[in-house]
Amino acid sequence: MQHILHIDASYSGERSVSRVLSRDFITAWKKFHPEAAVLYRDLGRFPVPYINEAWIAATHSSSEIRTPEMIAALEVSNPLLEEFLLVDGYVFGVPMYGFTIPATLKAYFEHLIRLGRTYEVTKAGVKGLVHGKKALFITSCAGDYSPGSTFGEDHQEPYLRTLFESFGIKDVQFVNAGKLMFKDREQSISSAQASLQSLATQW
């Protein structure tokens, strides 16, 4: 049985394009994988806490010397990490805020950056420890961030690719609905929906 982790990060509720698209993809994908289990997290409505000094100390200390504050920090964080490592793939609904990802999604990812669990440092540099998994990022943005555009820099997709490669996850795909504040908004959404419907048959 396949296990998929589906995460939405938008703060916009049902008005969110990335939420609608990620939900539509999961619905279509489940038709081809009815036996699959889908875990869901809504970080927009139920954000995880930011990591703090106690978390940093806990992840760099042995269990014998951890303080109650360190233990409490890991009691929140460890289930997020174990869940991430358990599943076979990930589907993220990610709007662009301020040229990059929402703060709540960044906070979630910081819980996963664990030396000895998701990555290690070798003489050759950072080496990912999470293998055999795949990720789909369904992104949305108000402007035009396609190559050659003059609207601004996209710090969303490059960051996500770099992060997941550092984990060892190289099977990473993106489907974007852009130009959402322009007249071709509906065309962009329809194009993304078509891409996701096609991807659902093979992902």
Tally of structural domains, the chain: 1
Residue 58 contacts by C-beta under 8 Å, 6 or more apart in sequence? 66, 70, 71, 73, 74
- Phi/psi of residue 95, each to 5°? -75, 160
Find how far residue 15's CA is from the centre of its chain: 20
pTM of the model: 0.94
pLDDT at 127: 96
pLDDT digits 0-9 by tens, 53-92: 999 999 999 999 999 999 999 999 999 999 999 999 999 9
How far is residue 80's CA from residue 111's CA, in Å, rounded to a whole number? Answer: 7
Split at pLDDT 50, 70, 90, the class of 150 is: low
pLDDT at 147: 64
How far is residue 46's CA from residue 152's CA, in Å, rounded to a whole number? Answer: 30
How far is residue 159's CA from residue 94's CA, in Å, rounded to a whole number? Answer: 12
pLDDT at 152: 63
CATH at residue 77: 3.40.50.360
The mean pLDDT value for 36-58 works out to: 97
Find how far residue 50's CA is from the centre of its chain: 16
Residue 66 domain boundaries: 3-200
For the chain, what is the mean pLDDT? 94
